[in-house]
């Protein structure tokens, strides 16, 4: 069994931002020389999401509006009694999840035609890390 | 390490439909002759879900109504400016997730007594693929 | 490839309850003597969740209130025609997911500074099991 681990660092300009990181994940798999296996893509923060979906700017806007409607920024979360102001970012992270597994087949990411790996920042403007860990043979 | 990859194709008659695919996943694991490991079950589309939950028709109806309430079909999504009409299907996919991992122990799917693997179609009436990839020894 | 499987049993006093099980997961990885790999943490029930997020009591309260607002307990779910009363627990499970993968690097859980593994009980007061399965080398 082979494994390869890399860490991707992202610092966004805005509080909420959405980045297509598919090419970064593919590069780790290329470097790992893994033919059959899986690669885990997992945010190392509790106010971030990782998902697989479409790369289409209108849809990204729809997702952003939708997440804010289901897990809105508000002042009165109990978490804010600690001095934090980002409880909504935790809820958004729980809603979409913070990790995906991409299958590796014949040395490549085995994704469907429209599938792209996204990093979703819900509490940005500081450095965040994503672990990309490939395993297989 | 052994691995085995199969692709399941589903074409639904309706736009939204829910299929218990546990037996298909178990068949892949049987063929793979893997004793200890994991099997990834992942939709290759961005308008589909995969989850593990109950096989009970009333609950499936509840889930369908609930998903429509939280991620409703509407005309005015920005994604629809591309000509698409299925933004709600993307949101539903993000809500429930598009993949699960089933542990394999002693050569079998190591599921709890009521756990069943479901494929959820949110934009059907055309062919969709699911990758089932087992890894282990 | 090595693998190690353990089952954690939790019986909560209340219907809904949230447990930090990070130390239990770390103990399995220690016992497995796996240096590089992944550990799957997966509820074996369809009315439970597993997530990675913050260990902060105010936030846990916020999550509990939020889940009840998005997937409320109600009498009139169709699932309840079977005699069950816990359809909301199934929906909550679908919303947050029932499993996570934790990467293992250099023999340890490779988590970010605030990441903790939680078991979320949505239909408790009876014994529930969580499978913790580590794979790697």
Length of chain B: 137
Q: What is the mean pLDDT of residues A45-53?
A: 98
With H, G, I as helix, E, B as strand and everything else as coil, classify residue C58. Answer: helix
B89-119: pLDDT as tens digits:
999 999 999 999 999 999 999 999 999 999 9
B74-92: pLDDT as tens digits:
999 999 999 999 999 999 9
Please tell me the pTM assigned to this model. 0.98
C56:A82 CB<8 A = yes
Q: How confident is the model at residue C58 (pLDDT cuts 50, 70, 90)?
A: very high
The total number of structural domains that make up chain C: 1
A71 Cβ under 8 Å from any chain B Cβ: no
B54: chain C residues, CB-CB within 8 Å: 46, 79, 90
Torsion, CA B80, CA B82, CA B84, CA B86, rounded to 10: -50
B62:C90 CB<8 A = yes
| ipTM here | 0.97
C7: chain B residues, CB-CB within 8 Å: none
Torsion, CA B60, CA B63, CA B64, CA B67, rounded to 10: -160
Neighbours of chain A (3+ CB pairs under 8 A): B, C
A110: chain B residues, CB-CB within 8 Å: 5, 131, 133
The pLDDT score that the predictor gives to residue B13 is 97
Residue C54, domain CATH? 2.60.120.460
Distance CA B134, CA B31 (A): 10
First vs last C-alpha separation in chain C: 5
C78:B58 CB<8 A = yes
Give the structural domain span for C22. Answer: 2-74+82-136
User: Which residue on chain C is closest to B49 by alpha carbon?
Assistant: C94
């Amino acid at each position: 069994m082979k494994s390869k681990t890399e860490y991707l660092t992202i610092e966004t300009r805005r509080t909420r931002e959405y980045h297509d990181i598919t090419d970064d994940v593919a590069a780790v798999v290329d470097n790992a020389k893994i033919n059959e296996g899986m690669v885990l893509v997992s945010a190392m923060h509790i106010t971030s999401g990782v998902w697989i979906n479409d790369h289409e700017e209108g849809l990204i806007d729809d997702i952003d509006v939708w997440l804010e409607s289901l897990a809105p920024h508000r002042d009165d979360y109990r978490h804010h009694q600690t001095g934090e102001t980002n409880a909504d970012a935790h809820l958004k992270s729980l809603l979409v999840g913070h990790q995906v597994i991409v299958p590796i087949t014949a040395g490549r990411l085995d994704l469907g035609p429209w599938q792209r790996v996204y990093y979703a920042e819900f509490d940005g403007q500081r450095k965040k890390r994503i672990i990309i860990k490939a395993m297989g043979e």
